[in-house]
Chain A
């Protein structure tokens, strides 16, 4: 089975956000594979370990994203592709670039994350499926060994569980709970250095201006107001509980 995983490099979720010169500062920030994409990488490697095949990881991003792809190779993916172009500014353009690359590849399955923890738009993977003309299911928590040209997946829909049968090739996005991603092993890290790593630009993919230019643009960026620490209640616990309910009614007026 030939599996492609689309992934994004993101800030670690414990990072604080600092705005400098109208942009989010990357100084000293720890970068990781987007946690939801990491589930997708792990699932692809498990499929390969069970029934053979090949796993290719693909990312659209700046040079630093190469590190995330190398981590995926160290986990067990076979080859990596990094598409870099500053003009690819929004989800429309990024999905067009991925589609331009993938349309020339043969694959049975594409996996990605449910959303990225930075932009949180959750668009690229689903758009990609539509652009490639293949079915998709988002937010899966279970992928049953695909075979016979189809796969059975379970989807988390706001706590409800949906089971779907989908013919391949198809695209699925991973939700938390799908698996527990492994850490790269030392031999894995050594082997990763020798695995094929391809770099492409939008021009290499023959992307025309119409597909390159974003359909949305940012006009401002800001931090939320800092919350102030409030009142720590005093007295014995029954008194505190009574006081809290009273304050919710009289001071906060939320009851």
Chain B
């Protein structure tokens, strides 16, 4: 029997997440056409409806575990469901997104399976007989390549870094529905979920990030940044300085503490560029810096810089983008 790589197909708001396609691609590269079967698993309430969305991609088997009790992520319930499937399918490798869910579920699964795990992987390559994974250290101040010793492997992939899998390859996938029986004693109960981000672009998956620092001066100061982000279909981020000053929620913080982002365009507004912030955004493709202080360190890493007051510059930019996109 051929080996199986299992991809955890994460979804949100009734859609597959982009990182699911990136995890699929990571699995495909690791498989290297070596006769490995790639399977995907959908877990959730009515998750089976997404099997169709997956069917066009290079996936041989789609496993569906659906139950009303799986509507919200519950660490214990999801681990139970995924570990049961792993017991039946015996995957040699499991790929997940390095998301809030994946970061929580993957290490628990790794411990359950006595497996090694490589987290936050940004590239996968084949080298001779080995699969080599690249991942950041110190939030991107350095990078390491790692390999597994023994199986199974657990891998989480950082959003926005590995190109998504392309449609095509296999005409049909087998869809297998699995019964879900909740664990007999659930010690964790999800009481409430407040979707503060519904309708917004996730910061780590955003193609464009408009980020504010101490220079925004207040929570109201983020408004012009939000307008620009909305126009560009991007997300708003912040520096530690802005978060510590209480201008915005810590969920927006970009840096070595906080989130690492790698968008196509990063627009830093009123951010001086402390080392710990640079670690969280230096891998962005194009960096634009707007700052009153021409000596600000952020200009040393920026592709384009505008020396000026962000409250003047950002609305002007928004206007120019509006014209360009019209």
Contact = CB atoms under 8 A, between A and B. Distances in A.
Contact of A123 (B107, B141, B256, B306): B107
B103 interface: yes
A159 B251 contact: yes
A95 B112 CA distance: 12
B265 A123 contact: no
Interface stretch (B130-138, B171-179, B212-220): B130-138
B112 A130 contact: yes
Given A139-B104, A157-B101, A158-B251, 11 more contacts: A17-B138, A24-B137, A139-B100, A159-B196, A161-B193, A164-B191, A167-B187, A216-B116, A219-B147, A231-B304, A255-B324
Interface string B183-215: 000011111111111001011100000000000
A139 B79 CA distance: 17
Nearest to B185: A167
Interface stretch (A182-190, A191-199, A246-254): A246-254
A215 B155 CA distance: 12
Given A158-B251, A233-B305, A237-B313, A220 B145 contact: yes
A135 interface: yes
7 contacts: A156-B251, A159-B249, A176-B257, A217-B147, A241-B320, A245-B323, A255-B325
Contact of B141 (A17, A92, A139, A237): A17
A227 B149 contact: no
B275 interface: yes
Nearest to A157: B100
Interface of B: 72-76, 79, 99-101, 103-104, 106-108, 110-112, 114-120, 132, 136-150, 187-197, 200, 202-204, 243, 249-253, 255-258, 264-265, 274-276, 279, 282-283, 285-288, 294, 299-308, 312-313, 316-317, 319-321, 323-325
B303 to A, nearest CB: 4
B189 A165 contact: yes
Interface in A151-170: 152, 156-167, 170
A119 B137 contact: yes
Contacts of B103: 115, 122, 138-139
B299 A129 contact: no
A128 B315 CA distance: 49
Interface string A1-43: 0000000000101111101000010000000000110000000
Given A36-B257, A137-B75, A254-B264, A220 B111 contact: no
A213 interface: yes
B149 A213 contact: yes
B305 A230 contact: yes
B146 A224 contact: no
Contacts of B302: 229-230
A14 B274 CA distance: 8
Given A164-B190, A230-B303, A35 B146 contact: no
Nearest to A125: B107
Nearest to B324: A245
Nearest to B319: A241
A69 B303 CA distance: 42
A115 B117 CA distance: 14
A209 interface: no
